[in-house]
A and B are shown apart, each in its own frame.
Chain A
């Protein structure tokens, strides 16, 4: 595809359920990022993948959050036992390499009820 694709675009889940959010980066981009944007808040860094290096997980808010990137392409962000404070827009971005221009997807709006 031409850009970063995220699915689903919207997700409503019950408190305590697990959710998986998917990101398809731009083909050939080695760097992939996940950010979270809560209502009225700035972008909060979650995790960064670069090539085959160990990911930078320093932004994950708790051990309920995890992410994988398979084959250096598609990434999945998993939130276990969701809480209401997890409600936010989750944004994925990719770039050709580290410290290069980043391109964002449209985001997944997660609502935990």
Chain B
């Protein structure tokens, strides 16, 4: 059974800092990994999707990497802003859980001015 773990559970940083969120998964036979953002009381917003054949994806100040063999992904946020404050979730598709996404518990990020 696929299990996804996110570290840290919570992170508080001052505005302007670069930061890294970590995601690990137990079954490396995945099709892709997706990073989402969730604001309080809202649904999930897709940030980046990395296919299993890719090593990284970039969107603006966000960069996600994937090391499938070791079961790890990182989300790097450059020059953080208060508007980046949210819960960040990673999810993997595939492996023994064909089709459905398996989520981590999320990292609660607070960026203070």
Tell me the A residues contacting B by CB distance below 8 Å.
4, 6, 31, 33, 35, 42-43, 45, 48, 50, 56, 59, 91, 93, 98-107, 109
Contact = CB atoms under 8 A, between A and B. Distances in A.
Contacts of B45: 104
Nearest to A59: B100
A50 B99 contact: yes
B102 interface: yes
B43 A104 contact: yes
B104 A42 contact: yes
12 contacts: A45-B101, A45-B102, A48-B100, A50-B99, A98-B93, A99-B32, A100-B32, A102-B34, A102-B46, A102-B93, A105-B43, A106-B42
Given A45-B100, A48-B99, A101 B105 contact: no
A105 B105 CA distance: 19
Nearest to B104: A42
B31 A99 contact: yes
A43 to B, nearest CB: 4
A91 B91 CA distance: 15
B103 to A, nearest CB: 4
B44 interface: yes
B44 A91 contact: yes
A96 to B, nearest CB: 11
A98 B99 CA distance: 5
Contacts of A102: 34, 46, 91, 93, 101
A4 B46 CA distance: 12
Contacts of B101: 33, 45, 93, 102
B43 A42 contact: no
Nearest to A44: B103
A99 B43 contact: no
Given A91-B44, A101-B49, A43 B89 contact: yes
Given A31-B99, A107-B43, 19 more contacts: A6-B43, A35-B103, A43-B89, A43-B91, A45-B100, A45-B101, A56-B99, A93-B44, A98-B93, A99-B32, A99-B93, A99-B94, A101-B46, A102-B101, A104-B43, A105-B43, A106-B42, A106-B43, A109-B41
